[in-house]
Structure formats: C-alpha cells, structure tokens
Amino acid sequence: MDAVCIKTKRPKTDPKEQAFRILERTTTKIEEGRFQTDLLWRKDDVKLPDTYENPLKRLFNIEKKIDRDPTLKKKYVEQMDALVAKGYAEPAPKQNTADKTRRLLADGNHKSNSGTTFRRRKDTSREQQRRLKLAEGLPDQA
C-alpha cells in the first residue's frame, strides 16, 4: 500500500499512537543520563465505579456490632487510630471527592479461639466486574 502512496488510517485511540504520545510528552532526563517516563498504557480518563454505598452499609453494621460489645469497640478504635498514626489510612473527608477515590472499610472479625482480628475488606466490585466479563462469553441458559 505504501508504494501507491496510500496510508492506512489508524483510529485516534490506537494504543501504539497513544503510547508514543505519552512517551514524547512525559519523558525526562534524570541524573546519570537515565530517562524517566510515565506508564505507556495509562489512560487519562479513568472513571472508577462509585464505592460509597457498600462501605456505608458495612459501617452501619459494624456500628451495631461494636455497640453490643464494648471490648470490640475499644479494640476497633485502637486499631483505627494505629492505622491513621502509621499513615496506612486517613479519615474520610466530609465532602464528596473526585472520581478517582476508592473507599475501603476495615472490618472487625471476632474469632472465639484467637480473639478479635481486624482486616481490610476485599474490594468486591472488581471481583463482580471480573465475573460479569467471564459470564458475557458464556452461552445463554435456556
């Protein structure tokens, strides 16, 4: 095709073209003659799903749980204070934040043998999206 002077038209969202644009725009020379650039496959318009409702429901359930058990409440407050003090967590802002915010809620699990342990709840929205993508490829059930 090039011999006839006809160039193939690529879409504006061509991954190779996008990678070259990011490479040209963000590459800088740093010390010792090395170069630094952004991720070439990064998208500028990332929109994360709204994750406000699920952590809010879990928060209400945890509040009910710790209202019934004062020792669990004490341990939960200590754990949250420790996470904030170490910089692993931060208090949620009062106003709504940008689209690139993920909200995760630490959950108190009570195990009778080993006492109370705390863990960060798994982000299930990604798991649900993965299952939906897998289910799209399956034939319809009749």
Q: Quick one: 76 exposed, middle or buried, by C-beta within 10 A (0-12, 13-18, 19+)? A: buried
Rounded (to 5) percent helix, strand, coil in the chain: 45, 10, 45
Please report which residue ranges of 10-142 form alpha helices under DSSP H: 15-26, 53-68, 70-86, 124-136
- What type of residue sits at position 56? L
pLDDT tens, position by position, 106-128: 555 545 455 555 555 444 555 55
Token digits of residue 68: 């019934």
Q: Rounded to whole angstroms, how far apart are CA atoms 19 and 110?
A: 48
pLDDT tens, position by position, 53-71: 887 888 888 889 889 999 9
- pTM summary value: 0.41
pLDDT band at 20 (very low <50, low <70, confident <90, very high): confident
Q: Rounded to whole angstroms, how far apart are CA atoms 25 and 76?
A: 46
Q: Write down the pLDDT at residue 134.
A: 52
